[in-house]
Structure 1
């Protein structure tokens, strides 16, 4: 029987879970319950449960914090089934990142919970059988030797040299990370492990090891990287998964195996920026993405959001995608962590869409829909995949907001000015999103309207300022509202076009 602890702040839920499920028939025993996270920590220490059913939202220590704490403290750690009364994308994403076995919504469906418990029991049974077999197997000593050589902790070089499995002229550590936009089923992971052992260890080409969150091979005698990667990719593809693979480089003796492993680990830290379809070496030329642990902010984030907004407003998808590419390249160069980088993209696109919604109220619903779709980049495990998804979204948005043919650029400029006069509009910025030379576009605008771009913008702003002054708004508030950050400059412009000061005009 596997022991179960129920953690939920609602007494009815705790009692209901005890009674609606036929625990013994499924191979489980409910050994206790807890009303919140801190109580659950004490119960785990006392009862040593195999499985926790955990509510996400609880007073004190919440469910996700409880899981994170137990995973840090306990090896091995209990398995988790998560309950939530909120269909919240962020909770689900965090739960999956913590390797929870299921994420279930309240009210709990009896059949769904029973089905998940049955699947979990199968996984627990398989792990226990494998552990018992490992205890009986002479390979356990080989695995212990390999781990000690890779980590440098208690390394036994002489003993390893005497072991027949380690005999080779050279060694190369290959680290693998199984990837998917969805939760990776542990059964698929186990299948891949078995295939790797059958394919590479049985032929004495490599030694297999598993070191969470990675799988790994130690290639022996310089077996070709390209052929090895093709085999790894085929095994993963058969099971519906992708992979990221890096090499720590070849070494000539077992005492240097730790160096190859450490270099592979360092390269794997920047895996988000690595392209698919090949094995990456630790010493490749070019930019090396090495994300720092601390979250970072991009200094020019607002300018990228502004460029993106203007490009979307005129329906120029190429200019919008270019702004995204340049922003992404800058974040990679700044070594921003993956989550910070994704958040930067989301903030920039969301800010642009919010501005677009404000300037085009009739499109507000579509802007909000696009803003929701931006969150779909979070499950992406490659930078290229995240950027491709964003580019597709931006191209779709730009197509929807494109109102005019290519021969009506001046009318499009006028519409942009009238919708966004309060923004920091510049001819150079508009020329970029319209794909025109700024000097040519300025002449085209003046020939069509009879006024320069800056004069036209000033007049639109001043006309709006007159309306706001008549409504009783204060001068400094009006200046800021129509796009002048300097009140004195606003005074001079207003006097130039109206012939009176803002204060005098308001008193009329």
Structure 2
């Protein structure tokens, strides 16, 4: 049976052609139907039908444009044209593309069957010629068949007949290519196989959803893989994101399957890749050695942390929280989808609390939350964090009236001025009209330190200055806010590593 694909934007025509013709009797099987030109290009690549019945006028791409693109790769494809008009100019162009026939709608059943029998005869003769002159299977197809086979008994030398000094497999992922760009990708990359200016063999092949590169020239160092990426970019009409998973370099063809699986396994870490998109054994080893956390992070806990950073208008702190969250996800071995789902949930919970503390911020919050569908389209954690931070920045600019930031500045300035007093968080909470627990969390988010630790640092820095002037230890303790000199002594030694008196003597000697 020869394979047939029907392409027409009218459902009645597509279904009608399937039913009015006894395809099996003539020697054909309808394998699929396409609704427009772009759909036809994708399905042709999948089925590679022996005959395509093509409507000439469709929205978007015309039938002639589809035939022209298919002819670039498949010169021996067969086409029957359907047209609702006796258009001589279209007919002339169609015949110029070497179509097998031109039929007017509505299709006459007998006329269609006659055309199909004629095309069948042409296909049959072509098939017989191929039996007599069986073309050599392209090497890239042999590689695909060999690597896709699970038979360990097959020897690479028998199938691939390669005689290279060394072998490396690099798996390539091209993100955000659509339609025509995706279809043309493989043909464009074949130019890289044909390039032998460096006297090394290389071969582009298909690897499922990826593209594979079998190369004699090794790409071991990070900068070499980045240069390879730039070289591939120069061959493409589009500029997609490219991620590379590079295997070890081997000298025996028998190891090809193992390094192929190794390179494929690296692609599983793409979501955690660096800015260069290079995935190698080094990253995989870090993944294995990194201590695994059994527990996944809790959305509620992390949403609180993110909320506090937004509430005090601290974008840097928000970015820090997101990076820490992704680190925890890494250690918990969460999948890409699990991480994106968790981050979306954390963001939603955090921002949903903002309108209660910032009246009138509801529309800005909703605008920010509209990014969530975009999170699922990013390729790496770095891109995800950058996207969220960018939108949070826009949110903060739209609602920032300086209230919380000024509170934090007032609070830290107050401590700097009054460190010698008996300062308590509860006192400051009363002064600034905040709940003490909430203010403590805001303070730590803003400064990175707890209130008490921050106060101790300010006091002990002042103590160092006074001791350097030769002041007695008990007077320094009292002057910086410590009523108990022994407590001051232990705090100072923990902070500086030496006792207050030793520090004073050391500063006196140095001066």
Partner of 1:230: 227
Partner of 1:304: 302
Following superposition, the deviation at residue 174 of structure 1 comes to 0.8
Partner of 1:434: 446
2:45 is equivalent to residue 49 of structure 1? no
Compare 258-267 and 138-147 and name the one that shifted more: 138-147
1:56-455 residue pairs with structure 2 within 5 A?
76=46, 113-115=59-61, 121-126=67-72, 128-129=74-75, 140=137, 142-154=139-151, 158=155, 160=157, 166-180=162-176, 185-199=181-195, 203-220=199-216, 222=218, 226-227=223-224, 229-236=226-233, 238-239=236-237, 240-277=239-276, 279-284=278-283, 287-288=286-287, 298-404=296-402, 406-409=405-408, 425-435=437-447, 437-440=449-452
Q: Distance in 2 between matches of 1:289 and 1:416?
A: 51
TM-score by length of 2: 0.58
Following superposition, the deviation at residue 253 of structure 1 comes to 0.9
Aligned residues: 358
* Aligned partners of 2:304 and 2:350 also within 8 Å: yes
Q: Distance in 1 between matches of 2:393 and 2:134?
A: 57
1:415–1:368 distance in 2 versus 1, CA, 3 Å: farther
Partner of 1:59: none
* Aligned partners of 2:204 and 2:213 also within 8 Å: yes
1:228–1:347 distance in 2 versus 1, CA, 3 Å: closer
Q: Distance in 1 between matches of 2:326 and 2:67?
A: 44
Q: Distance in 2 between matches of 1:369 and 1:393?
A: 9
SS of the residue aligned with 1:115? coil
* Aligned partners of 1:244 and 1:271 also within 8 Å: yes
1:153–1:232 distance in 2 versus 1, CA, 3 Å: same
SS of the residue aligned with 1:394? helix
1:436–1:348 distance in 2 versus 1, CA, 3 Å: closer
Q: CA RMSD in A?
A: 4.6
Following superposition, the deviation at residue 211 of structure 1 comes to 1.8
TM-score by length of 1: 0.58
1:182–1:309 distance in 2 versus 1, CA, 3 Å: farther
Q: Distance in 2 between matches of 1:159 and 1:391?
A: 50
Q: Per-residue displacement from partner, 1:331-377 (whole Å, max 9, x unpaired)? A: 12222221221121111112111111233341111111111124322
SS of the residue aligned with 2:169? strand
Following superposition, the deviation at residue 392 of structure 1 comes to 1.4
Q: Distance in 1 between matches of 2:179 and 2:305?
A: 36
1:415–1:197 distance in 2 versus 1, CA, 3 Å: farther
1:157–1:205 distance in 2 versus 1, CA, 3 Å: same
1:192–1:32 distance in 2 versus 1, CA, 3 Å: same
1:222–1:328 distance in 2 versus 1, CA, 3 Å: closer
Following superposition, the deviation at residue 116 of structure 1 comes to 7.3
SS of the residue aligned with 1:210? strand
Following superposition, the deviation at residue 407 of structure 1 comes to 4.8
1:248–1:223 distance in 2 versus 1, CA, 3 Å: closer
Following superposition, the deviation at residue 321 of structure 1 comes to 1.3
* Aligned partners of 1:209 and 1:217 also within 8 Å: yes
Structure 2 portions without partners, runs of 5+: 20-27, 37-42, 50-55, 79-125, 412-427, 457-511
Following superposition, the deviation at residue 49 of structure 1 comes to 1.8
Q: Per-residue displacement from partner, 1:199-256 (whole Å, max 9, x unpaired)? A: 3699542222112211111122646665465133233255312210111211221111
* Aligned partners of 2:443 and 2:449 also within 8 Å: yes
Following superposition, the deviation at residue 298 of structure 1 comes to 3.5
- Which structure: larger Rg? 2
* Aligned partners of 1:4 and 1:50 also within 8 Å: yes
1:229–1:319 distance in 2 versus 1, CA, 3 Å: closer
Q: Distance in 1 between matches of 2:182 and 2:349?
A: 39
Q: Distance in 1 between matches of 2:60 and 2:15?
A: 14
